[in-house]
Amino acid sequence: MRIIAHLDMDAFFAAVEERDRPYLIGQPIAVGADPQGGKGRGVVSTANYAARAYGIRSATPIRTAWELSEAARKKGLPPVVFVSSGFRKYGEISKEIMKIVASHLESTQKNLFEKEPPALEQVSVDECFFDLSFAGTYTKAKKVVVRIKREIEKSEKLSCSVGIGPNKLIAKIVSDFQKPDGLTVVLPEQVTEFLGPLPVRKIPGVGPKAEEKFIRLKIKTVADARKLSEERLKGMFGKWGSELYL
């Protein structure tokens, strides 16, 4: 039985800045390019949850983020604090987080007398997949993740959200389900029911353009998309359509 986890740090860059600059706590924060009073170029790297309430997200053009901040300020809300990216600092913290994950996996694996080291795949500075199949059950796997989350919080003063499922795709979708500081488990027999009502955009790889194609067919949820044949999806998206069907 495969048990895969996906760990995603919560608003990582912004959370690091809040941790290192206590006066920022509670303020809407956007990490990225300098807005230059609305004339800047570039995009937002990370927005904390307070800034997301204004409609600011990762990859939001910095000019748009500035405009949204100004609109909020005119309503009497706190303006967004724009912070330049400190990628070297974020990278060093990321290394420590990955060490924590690896250490817990290895120690648990040794206690279970497993010979093969557990797989850990870092996919970006703030997220990774890891294989918990050696735990044997989802209940035991969840306990391992709880310990990892606690250690990251204790050591780095940062929170993360984790999804556990039967494969990487499910784990990644699930990790976003209860942010921030979430831990969600979807058992193999729960996958179809869990995914069905979710917006089709939740499927990794389905971006704005793909979503538009689905909407034109009045397809809004994963359950709706399941009704399409592999050939239909290939006709819509080419080779990727087969992967999407699977």
Residues with catalytic function: 127
Cα three-residue angle 137-139-145, rounded to 5 degrees: 105
- Cα-based distances in Å from 164 to 15, 69, 102, 205, 223: 23, 36, 17, 19, 21
Max Cα distance, the chain (Å): 61
- Alpha-carbon gap, residue 174 to 117, rounded angstroms: 25
80 neighbors 65 (Cβ within 8 angstroms): yes
Q: Which one-letter DSSP state was computed for residue 77?
A: P
Q: Is the dihedral of CA 72, 16, 126, 150 positive or negative?
A: negative
How many residues make up the chain in this entry?
Answer: 246
Three-class SS of residue 208?
helix
Q: Which one-letter DSSP state was computed for residue 200?
A: G
Three-class SS of residue 169?
helix
- Alpha-carbon gap, residue 176 to 194, rounded angstroms: 13
